[in-house]
Amino acid sequence: MPKDVSTGELLFSFLALKAYRKSYIVHQQVFPIQSLQPEILAAIFIFCLPEIGESLDDAPMTPIIGSQYAPLLLCNVCSSWRNLAISTPQLWQTLDFAIKRPPLDAEPLAIGIRTWLGRSGTLPLTI
């Protein structure tokens, strides 16, 4: 043991590590889905996607890209889900939206569509 490390410092470090371990275990018990491998969670996310046309059933009279549906809904759960959803191109392969009347400002819609298409990477698209 180095001479410059006191017993009190070692005890403090030990207690801090013990508290961290306990909080980690509690977090895993409260949110067991967070312990899944990213590949498995991404596969689950893909099963959450709506069927083509499903998000348009109750479409309002303005442009929509269904934020109440996956993948956008998954991006609103937590930062780790957002990062995983954004980095899973299969979630962004289908762009399903309706424009029932022209928007006052089309630029936000255009930005949203460009972002969506960019997230799909090089995968084939269904629009």
Say how many domains are in the chain.
2
Give a yes or no: residue 23 inside a domain.
yes
Tokens standing for residue 64: 């929509």
Burial degree of 71 (CB within 10 A; 0-12, 13-18, 19+): buried
Residue 75 sits in which domain range? 36-119
Residues 13 and 59 in one domain: no
Kindly state whether residues 25 and 76 are assigned to the same domain.
no
Is residue 127 a part of any domain in this protein? no
Q: Tell me what the mean pLDDT of segment 106-111 comes to.
A: 86
CA distance 54 to 48: 12
Q: Domain for residue 126, yes or no?
A: no
119 band by pLDDT with thresholds 50, 70 and 90: very high
The pLDDT of residue 60 is 47
Is 69 a domain residue? yes
User: What's this model's pTM, rounded to 2 decimal places?
Assistant: 0.66
pLDDT the model gives residue 61: 40
pLDDT above 80 for 87: yes
Cβ(95)–Cβ(63) under 8 Å? no
Residue 59 included in any domain? yes
pLDDT, the chain, mean: 82
CA distance 88 to 93: 10
Rounded CA separation 95/53 (Å): 10
Residue 85 located in a structural domain: yes
Q: Kindly state whether residues 49 and 99 are assigned to the same domain.
A: yes
Residue 81 is assigned to a structural domain of this protein: yes
CA angle 83, 87, 93 (to 5 degrees): 130
